A and B are shown apart, each in its own frame.
Chain A
């Protein structure tokens, strides 16, 4: 049996050790290197600013409780209880235009395996202008029929998968496919975590569109023991009718992270849900014009939104941990706002992309 003081010493030692690990570098301004690099660096002034913000919040919210500051609804499920905070904003709803999409797809011969741009050109000259035309071609009949079958059957996930095999993630067809989903079934998704991996998700942001407005539901963990419940609540958004995920860098980060945390609690997860990652489409649209393709930059430069007193996402873990340590809900306030704005901007950016797609750019 180890003595109490020995154990306390061990606890303190690990606490210090873990606290000393940082997943980002703080660099001096002027040392700008890779753009659209992993967000693993922070400028010195951003870092200092965030630190000052934290002190200010701690003062401002001294003595207040979580429930005091965050008045949400309690949700209950097999995972337990968690709190959801809801907010709404107006949003221009992207229209659905299945006809345009259908025409674009059917005119794209390179969707058939074995046909590259040059071959497509040759085929067009010989009178094969569309996929249906190819059903008359000995060699490409079979894959052409396969594609048409998918379209006829209205198999959206299948079609998406077919296209993804032939085109990169940023191809306009992929973006266009999202127009086959009614806006109500789109799930805009963004998470905040305690680190880059193998630590709890502390905030789940889910946006749903209905009647010209976006409702942002945020599941914020008052205590890490609520994570399981929050995971399941979020999951319920994805198990409805024909859901489709829309994220920013979600393919590389948010979704795998979400799946790993579900697995951590022993809940196996679904296979492919249609997933539209706006990072890829944004890169295609504006790379080279902007200094980087971070959501914050796009929001500022493309959507014209200025955030005041925003928190850099790398600092979220430190702010949440301050809350856990002190019980003071102040540091959580910018996390919630940051996430909420992320979801809204994500949706607005998506809408903008769809507008451009409709306009044929």
Chain B
């Protein structure tokens, strides 16, 4: 069998061997079959029989939960048959109850299109009249009315839902019968976007209630550290968790591959990736390779083809790059060729992560840690035809997260995945949706629980600005513009920039984002393509870019000013006071670096006004004894604080799904009037988005991990793998790795019960510090 052969090659050949940080092997697992509590109706049982499908335990558990009217969240891996878990109970109900309706929400049209086929097939085979149809921006005007009236299973997406809710009168029949709402790939709804969507869902529930329905919500997600919390935040209701996977699995090998093994890399990660890919092709192993950008996908594919031309002439056409922009027919052609063996390897960005059925692969190569465990396991999960051995290879970049895993493989494999964060209380987000809700139906006091504690005061503010008007039936929307248009689902600020290329709109980003990543001269990545920013028009809020094929990238540098406005919570543990609350931040982007790999080619000044916003932050102080200890060793205390700040921020994505760019930090040996050494970590989004708040809860674990990261890094005095941050406004000065280790050791000792503490271990009896309400 080729996969064990590949493993052998990796372990034995000197060139590969020294790069292998770790190989973890997971034994094969048999399927665990089950039966739902009561048998499925004949029509569906016949369908399963015809397809020779037996239900796994988790599918049965899901069916049971859904049938009993419980909201459910299913987190079993890809290819475990999640779709059937919810399709079966939905079809069962559609058969029994002629008024029943179901809404299936997908994050993209492509995914909805893929699912439509299989859902229609079930309907056709069983004869259950679901009339499944897609209703989204592409649906022709002439079809819309009949779909609303006739279709009992509608597939759509949250953007469409956001618009459609104000037309609910036309959807009367559908909403009156709504029994199920399925949210597929729900983990995508996190962060700013997820917080918006959670409010769209609240609005949907309100409208359903108006028409007398109370649908069951079914969420299908990737594995998360906090599934129940996530489900509760997304829908507003508690959900039953289905996570024990009963599907079968062949033996799986996971290789952690570190080209950076000696602390420096001889060649680029992508070239290393290419080598592994070529080996796979030579061993005739069908392979899928994920890269972080489209450009990289094309390069790796090209280099692989070049190599193959030399060593295996004729085989070079077996490798191809794959992108999100392909038409459905093109995608299906590639899928077919992979299945038939015509294609040996496909190199892609994470487009395929979105559940499009590719199947039939034995190896997955992941070039560079994708940023989350969730994405990593989703990508790795693509390998493995039933029964056979499969392999996943993670090729590490030189950044702190990648290197942390390469040096601590136990951490990688025991890691329980990240938390997905949704913040339903960000006032900027909530207020917009209150306007939308008022435009749909007058807002009443009975609606307040749905929208949370802040809404009454917010309604008052909106009323003062004549956007709402109080009437005996509730608050009515009286704005001149359309509410659903005023609210943009992927940003917080209403101060947004349009990014255009040759007059065509690429995307809309908010001001902070624009200054950080799309200033004049910046190299901007969008959906895997590279662009160069030619002009940033502050007056007109437009950023003009052109497509670029450059081999350098840019990093903006900024100064941060911060003031605490209000402390909301705090706890004191052994002399370390950790606080959380509202802060005012001012970020000033004063220059940017032009870099190729790690070499700085140039530093260009920027002339931009500072970005000022209020947000949420956590902060903690360093007691005098620690400072004294650092100074006693002749180490740079400020440098140590700075390094600690960087390490904490670098590891945040380990715990919550975010980008290191979503968080900002500030460290100073003398904060405020009392000049106390303090480190701040704040959410990079106005109003806060729940990241610093989660870090407050997980703080001891975060500190423990930071200590390990910095202490175990083989570098001398700091490097991009531990404490150097690519976005540091001070160009990573001052920086003292040794001081940081000392500080972190002290913090860990005080915050965690034992030196080798588990992450997120609850802190023993912390003293709650009283705060002003």
A and B associate: yes
- Taking Cβ atoms with an 8 Å cutoff, the residues of A that contact B are 1-3, 6-8, 10-23, 80, 194-200, 223-225, 227-228, 259-260, 263-266, 317-318, 321, 324-325
Interchain residue pairs with CB less than 8 A apart (26): A3-B566, A7-B457, A7-B461, A11-B461, A11-B467, A14-B462, A14-B486, A15-B465, A15-B467, A18-B479, A21-B480, A21-B481, A21-B482, A21-B485, A194-B478, A194-B480, A200-B477, A224-B471, A225-B469, A225-B476, A228-B472, A260-B167, A266-B441, A266-B473, A318-B480, A325-B466
Interface assignment of B387: CB less than 8 Å from any CB of chain A: no
Interface assignment of B109: CB less than 8 Å from any CB of chain A: no
Residues on the A chain within 8 Å of B482, using CB? 21, 23, 195-199
Using CB atoms, name the residue of chain B closest to A196.
Answer: B482
Contact of B458 among A2, A18, A198, A265 (CB under 8 A): A2
Interface assignment of B432: CB less than 8 Å from any CB of chain A: yes
Residues on the A chain within 8 Å of B428, using CB? 10, 13
* Contacts A14-B435, A228-B471; A6 near B614 (Cβ below 8 A): yes
Interface size on B, residues (CB 8 A): 45
Residues on the B chain within 8 Å of A263, using CB? 168-169, 172
Nearest CB of B to A336, in Å = 19
Residues on the B chain within 8 Å of A8, using CB? 461, 464
Q: B473 and A228: CB pair below 8 A?
A: yes
Most A-side CB within 10 Å, residue of B435, B462, B472, B476: B476
Contact of A19 among B169, B441, B481, B483 (CB under 8 A): B481
Most B-side CB within 10 Å, residue of A14, A264, A265: A14
Interface assignment of B470: CB less than 8 Å from any CB of chain A: yes
Residues on the B chain within 8 Å of A198, using CB? 166-167, 439-440, 477, 482-484
Q: B494 and A227: CB pair below 8 A?
A: no
Using CB atoms, name the residue of chain A closest to B168.
Answer: A263
Nearest CB of B to A90, in Å = 37
Task: Give the distance in Å from the alpha carbon of A58 to the alpha carbon of B559 in the complex.
Answer: 48
Residues on the A chain within 8 Å of B167, using CB? 198, 260
Residues on the A chain within 8 Å of B454, using CB? 1-2
Interface assignment of B442: CB less than 8 Å from any CB of chain A: yes
Most A-side CB within 10 Å, residue of B440, B457, B458, B479: B479
Residues on the A chain within 8 Å of B678, using CB? none
Q: B427 and A197: CB pair below 8 A?
A: no
Nearest CB of A to B685, in Å = 15
Interface assignment of B753: CB less than 8 Å from any CB of chain A: no
Q: A199 and B465: CB pair below 8 A?
A: no
Q: A321 and B462: CB pair below 8 A?
A: no
Interface assignment of B198: CB less than 8 Å from any CB of chain A: no
Task: Give the distance in Å from the alpha carbon of A259 to the alpha carbon of B478 in the complex.
Answer: 18
Q: A2 and B462: CB pair below 8 A?
A: no
Task: Give the distance in Å from the alpha carbon of A226 to the alpha carbon of B546 in the complex.
Answer: 52
* Contacts A21-B481, A198-B484, A317-B480; A324 near B466 (Cβ below 8 A): yes
Task: Give the distance in Å from the alpha carbon of A225 to the alpha carbon of B432 in the complex.
Answer: 21
Using CB atoms, name the residue of chain B closest to A263.
Answer: B169
Using CB atoms, name the residue of chain A closest to B479.
Answer: A18
Residues on the B chain within 8 Å of A23, using CB? 481-482
Q: B494 and A195: CB pair below 8 A?
A: no
Using CB atoms, name the residue of chain A closest to B473.
Answer: A265
Q: B465 and A321: CB pair below 8 A?
A: no
Nearest CB of B to A271, in Å = 13
Residues on the B chain within 8 Å of A7, using CB? 427, 457-458, 460-461
Contact of A2 among B457, B466, B479, B480 (CB under 8 A): B457
Using CB atoms, name the residue of chain A closest to B464.
Answer: A11
Task: Give the distance in Å from the alpha carbon of A13 to the alpha carbon of B511 in the complex.
Answer: 14
Residues on the B chain within 8 Å of A80, using CB? 471-472
Contact of B467 among A18, A22, A200 (CB under 8 A): A18
Nearest CB of B to A20, in Å = 7
Q: Told that A1-B454, A1-B457, A196-B482 touch, could you supply 12 new A-B pairs with CB distance under 8 A?
A: A7-B461, A10-B431, A10-B458, A11-B465, A12-B465, A14-B462, A194-B479, A199-B482, A225-B471, A228-B473, A263-B168, A318-B480
Residues on the B chain within 8 Å of A15, using CB? 465-467, 479
Residues on the B chain within 8 Å of A260, using CB? 167, 169
Nearest CB of B to A62, in Å = 20
Residues on the A chain within 8 Å of B464, using CB? 8, 11
Q: A20 and B481: CB pair below 8 A?
A: yes
Q: B494 and A13: CB pair below 8 A?
A: yes
Task: Give the distance in Å from the alpha carbon of A12 to the alpha carbon of B461 in the complex.
Answer: 9
Residues on the B chain within 8 Å of A16, using CB? 494
Residues on the B chain within 8 Å of A22, using CB? 481
Using CB atoms, name the residue of chain A closest to B463.
Answer: A11
Contact of B494 among A2, A14, A197, A325 (CB under 8 A): A14
Residues on the A chain within 8 Å of B566, using CB? 3
Contact of B480 among A227, A266, A321 (CB under 8 A): A321
* Contacts A2-B458, A7-B457, A15-B465; A197 near B166 (Cβ below 8 A): yes
A-B CB proximity, top 4 nearest:
A21-B481, A11-B465, A7-B461, A225-B471
Nearest CB of B to A50, in Å = 15
Task: Give the distance in Å from the alpha carbon of A259 to the alpha carbon of B167 in the complex.
Answer: 11
Task: Give the distance in Å from the alpha carbon of A260 to the alpha carbon of B464 in the complex.
Answer: 26
Using CB atoms, name the residue of chain A closest to B435.
Answer: A14
Task: Give the distance in Å from the alpha carbon of A200 to the alpha carbon of B169 in the complex.
Answer: 15
Contact of A200 among B210, B462, B472, B476 (CB under 8 A): B476
Q: A224 and B478: CB pair below 8 A?
A: yes
Q: Mark B532-560, 1 if CB is under 8 A from A, else 0.
A: 00000000000000000000000000000
Nearest CB of A to B468, in Å = 9
* Contacts A1-B457, A198-B166; A227 near B467 (Cβ below 8 A): no
Residues on the B chain within 8 Å of A12, using CB? 465
Using CB atoms, name the residue of chain B closest to A265.
Answer: B473
Nearest CB of A to B174, in Å = 14
Q: B486 and A21: CB pair below 8 A?
A: yes
Task: Give the distance in Å from the alpha carbon of A12 to the alpha carbon of B721 in the complex.
Answer: 45
Task: Give the distance in Å from the alpha carbon of A198 to the alpha carbon of B479 in the complex.
Answer: 10
Contact of B486 among A18, A197, A228, A266 (CB under 8 A): A18
* Contacts A7-B427, A7-B458, A225-B470; A324 near B494 (Cβ below 8 A): no
Q: B467 and A225: CB pair below 8 A?
A: no
Using CB atoms, name the residue of chain B closest to A261.
Answer: B169
Nearest CB of A to B497, in Å = 14
Interface residues of B in 128-159 (CB under 8 A from A): none
Task: Give the distance in Å from the alpha carbon of A227 to the alpha carbon of B467 in the complex.
Answer: 15
Using CB atoms, name the residue of chain B closest to A268.
Answer: B172
Residues on the A chain within 8 Å of B168, using CB? 263
Residues on the A chain within 8 Å of B473, using CB? 228, 265-266
Most B-side CB within 10 Å, residue of A11, A20, A194: A11
Task: Give the distance in Å from the alpha carbon of A199 to the alpha carbon of B469 in the complex.
Answer: 12
Residues on the A chain within 8 Å of B466, using CB? 15, 321, 324-325
Q: B472 and A225: CB pair below 8 A?
A: yes
Q: Mark B480-509, 1 if CB is under 8 A from A, else 0.
A: 111111100000001000000000000000
Q: A199 and B439: CB pair below 8 A?
A: yes
Nearest CB of B to A17, in Å = 4
* Contacts A11-B462, A325-B466; A19 near B478 (Cβ below 8 A): no
Contact of B431 among A14, A194, A223, A227 (CB under 8 A): A14
